Amino acid sequence: MGDDNTVRIGLLGCIRFASKFVRTVTQSSNAVIIAISDPSIETVNTFAAANNLSPETVLVYGSYEELLNDPRVDAVYLTMPVTQRAKWAVTAAEKKKHLLVEKPPAQNAAEIDKIVEACESNGVQFMDGTIWLHHKRTVKIRETMFDSGLLGDVRHMYSTMTTLVPEQVLERLTKEAMGLAGAIGELGWYPIGAALWAMSYQMPVSVKALPSSVATNSVGTILSCSASLQFGSTATATAIVHCSFLSQLSTDLAISGSKGSTHMNDYVIPYKEDTAWFEYTSGAKFAEMHIGWNMMPERVTVDCSGTEESQEATMLREFVRLVQGIKRGDSEADPRWQEISKKTQLVVDAVKKSVDIGCEVVYL
Amino acid sequence: MGDDNTVRIGLLGCIRFASKFVRTVTQSSNAVIIAISDPSIETVNTFAAANNLSPETVLVYGSYEELLNDPRVDAVYLTMPVTQRAKWAVTAAEKKKHLLVEKPPAQNAAEIDKIVEACESNGVQFMDGTIWLHHKRTVKIRETMFDSGLLGDVRHMYSTMTTLVPEQVLERLTKEAMGLAGAIGELGWYPIGAALWAMSYQMPVSVKALPSSVATNSVGTILSCSASLQFGSTATATAIVHCSFLSQLSTDLAISGSKGSTHMNDYVIPYKEDTAWFEYTSGAKFAEMHIGWNMMPERVTVDCSGTEESQEATMLREFVRLVQGIKRGDSEADPRWQEISKKTQLVVDAVKKSVDIGCEVVYL
């Protein structure tokens, strides 16, 4: 189970998607999965078998409570449906477990407040599972485009997260499964978060869902939505965010600035795990006589071929570093990650509210 | 001056930008510049010298009227300010000249109607100078993504045309120089046209300017604007178009469909004249365990290295082909190009109207 500095993690929820996290922890040198749980013991056993989690080293629980009562567990990874995440996050924090919560971590900002309050009262670290923020490429773009001044002031952004859900499944996307914000929470979380990231977490002054873009299924779950976000009191910077279960996979991020622009079409999960790139221009103009451009886009490639260099690994490393600091008594919980979650959720909520009130402007 | 099948072209307006057209005609085997004109004879002479147009072969006129009265001229290329284009296009058509008019060809759809009427009454061909529609790449995307079914139904589009104008020049962008629609006409013409092109010229049912995106200078010229276009009565397909004089050069076109998506960041003028590409995916999903995608984007490259393969050359070839057909008496003017111009202008007008009425929805 590793030495005292090792972070011992338990899973709350055994959805298939959690396999990736297990793989990442298994490859990590300072964290270990010591317990897994799900309300269905059958699900837990199937997950354990599928992920080579031996009963000799990994405890198997048929309820979240049992796992949370295990004092050996330092931290938990929550993947249950979004409608239950806040409740279990609060309970886990009260049991002094550090929290890594799948995104979106809650159904609205009020729920995030409760989680944050519980974390602060109990001195535990919070982080949501927005993996791309931890990718080496994300850090590299920040340096290359923003810190250097190559992009200038952000003027316009476009970001999407769309993924095609088969027609017969669309009707099964209930609010119980998806949360109240539907696609805006499940998918819109990414483009909204990307716009905030590009604005260094300056909040928009207003948001507005675009009426032409909103589609719902027969039970009222939002399946598709675009929205505009306005930063600053005039048209200083705007973002268009788009999320949909009706289009093929797209994860576009285009940022257009006063001096340069940058593009990625795979910002959420890069095409390949071992490498990722972005393209940019700065100072671009049409060439003399407008027969082309004065430059080609520059491609910056980031190598992630080491086993601990994937975006999951860098996220885990950051989470483990923070938890270790608290365990050793060297540091307190870092509020940065909960602030990012809260701001992202506030914008998700505002877009959802705009949809609810007929796509009117919502001020933040 | 070429044989009888050669199309003899005159320039109405000698702006610097027209050099590209002169170069293209010079490289062409079935068209020739025989006359140039501008209200300022000094401008004409400077242009002639700068473009190696010898007074021995090219007639030089200090007024548009003189050129239009020259019976040797078959066709004219109009580049004067947008506010004067409709007037001179009508006059030229009445003088039986075929028309290639720089985009936008007029200030509003009513003006286009007048041009079209004059062309039809006089049996002359009309085409506006939206060059990218003639690029070999544009044809290739149509085949690859649409005709083949790889894209499926269009769900969402994003298209931009932005170009940075220095701050001290922004105030000089008057309505007299720019036309009433400002950036929407001058720049928005492209993304609006791109959305229509992707929809095979199905018209949107409504458009809406996004309030957060609209910026004007002190004389009320629109400098920046985003708008959403809705095609079909539900959220079947939507487009976001963005134009601005406040951001660095960007010419993005992203089309997201039910089965695939395609991207270009240089659709208006390719980075390089001799080659151009687009990227697409079809059937893309996240790979097992979400550690990447199930495919990489496919890049399709189009070779344009021949002197008659640039988008200007292919546009000219199409224009000359149509004019030659009419000259020979084999065919009548092709209404396709005026229909495209008219539809594009109708959407430009609708976006402008939306801005004027406080960014309310405008139905078409």
* pLDDT tens for each residue of A206-223: 999 987 778 899 999 999
Model confidence at B152: pLDDT above 80: yes
Q: Is A216 on the interface with B (CB under 8 A)?
A: no
H or E element, residue B261? strand B260-264
Domain-embedded: residue A64 = yes
What confidence tens digit (pLDDT) does each residue in A112-162 have? 999 999 999 999 999 999 999 999 999 999 999 999 999 999 999 999 999
Model confidence at B212: pLDDT above 80: no
Give residue A235's pLDDT. 55
Give residue B1's pLDDT. 47
The reply to whether A210 and A248 lie within a common domain is yes
Model confidence at B2: pLDDT above 70: no
Span of A98-107, B163-172, B245-254, B340-349 with lowest mean pLDDT: B163-172
Tell me if residue A219 falls in helix, strand or coil: coil
Residue A161, both tokens: 């997260």
Q: Is A164 on the interface with B (CB under 8 A)?
A: yes
The reply to whether A50 and A23 lie within a common domain is yes
Q: What DSSP line would sit under B300-345, residue for residue?
A: EEEE--STT-SHHHHHHHHHHHHHHHHHHTS-PPPTHHHHHHHHHH
The arithmetic mean of pLDDT across residues B46-54, rounded, is 95
Q: Mutate which of A17, A131, A212, A282 to disrupt the B interface (most B C-beta within 10 Å)?
A: A212
The reply to whether B54 and B103 lie within a common domain is yes
The reply to whether B165 and B246 lie within a common domain is yes
What confidence tens digit (pLDDT) does each residue in B141-151 have? 999 999 999 99
What is the C-alpha separation between B103 and B130, in angstroms, rounded? 6
Q: Confidence band (pLDDT; 50, 70, 90) for B211?
A: confident
Q: Is B203 on the interface with A (CB under 8 A)?
A: no
What is the C-alpha separation between B346 and B271, in angstroms, rounded? 30
**Distances B351 to A28, A206, B82, B211, B227 between C-alpha atoms, Å:** 54, 21, 18, 11, 7
The reply to whether A70 and A98 lie within a common domain is yes
What confidence tens digit (pLDDT) does each residue in A13-38 have? 999 889 999 999 999 999 999 999 99
Model confidence at A193: pLDDT above 60: yes
Domain-embedded: residue A93 = yes
Contact assignment for B296 to A271 by CB distance below 8 Å: yes
Domain-embedded: residue B296 = yes
Taking CA–CA distances from A167, the nearest residue in chain B reads B258
Domain end (from B131, B155, B175): B131
Give residue A2's pLDDT. 53
Give residue A1's pLDDT. 47
Over chain A, what is the mean pLDDT? 94
CA of A301 vs chain B CAs: smallest distance (Å): 15
The reply to whether A252 and A301 lie within a common domain is yes
What is the C-alpha separation between B118 and A159, in angstroms, rounded? 45
Q: Confidence band (pLDDT; 50, 70, 90) for B233?
A: low
Residues of B in contact with A270 (CB under 8 A): 292
What confidence tens digit (pLDDT) does each residue in B286-298 have? 998 899 999 999 9
The reply to whether A119 and A211 lie within a common domain is no
Model confidence at B307: pLDDT above 90: no
Domain end (from B131, B146, B171): B131
The reply to whether A182 and A34 lie within a common domain is no
Q: What is the CATH classification number for the domain harbouring A185?
A: 3.30.360.10
In which domain, by residue range, is A206 found? 133-308+345-363
Tell me if residue B299 falls in helix, strand or coil: strand
The reply to whether B108 and B159 lie within a common domain is no
Domain-embedded: residue B321 = no
Contact assignment for B292 to A269 by CB distance below 8 Å: yes
The reply to whether B194 and B268 lie within a common domain is yes
Domain-embedded: residue B329 = no
Give residue B234's pLDDT. 58
Model confidence at A175: pLDDT above 90: no
Residues of B in contact with A229 (CB under 8 A): 212
Contact assignment for B247 to A228 by CB distance below 8 Å: no
Taking CA–CA distances from A223, the nearest residue in chain B reads B235
Contact assignment for B310 to A290 by CB distance below 8 Å: no
The arithmetic mean of pLDDT across residues B41-55, rounded, is 95
Which residue among B226, B260, B271 places its CB closest to the CB of A240?
Answer: B226
Residue A233, both tokens: 């009191």
Domain-embedded: residue A160 = yes
Domain-embedded: residue A2 = no
What is the C-alpha separation between B342 and B340, in angstroms, rounded? 5
Domain-embedded: residue B323 = no
The reply to whether A239 and A271 lie within a common domain is yes
Contact A41, A23 (CB under 8 A): no
Give residue B232's pLDDT. 83
Residue A313, both tokens: 């690994």
Interface size, chain A vs chain B, as Cβ–Cβ contacts under 8 Å: 220
Contact assignment for B155 to A246 by CB distance below 8 Å: yes
* Complex ipTM value: 0.94
Taking CA–CA distances from B245, the nearest residue in chain A reads A258
Number of domains in chain B: 2
The reply to whether B106 and B166 lie within a common domain is no
Model confidence at B269: pLDDT above 60: yes
Give residue B55's pLDDT. 86
Q: What is the CATH classification number for the domain harbouring A110?
A: 3.40.50.720
Local structure of residue B357 (DSSP, 8 states) = T
- Per-residue burial over A320-335, b = 16 or more CB atoms within 10 Å of its CB, e = otherwise: bebbbebbeeeeebbe
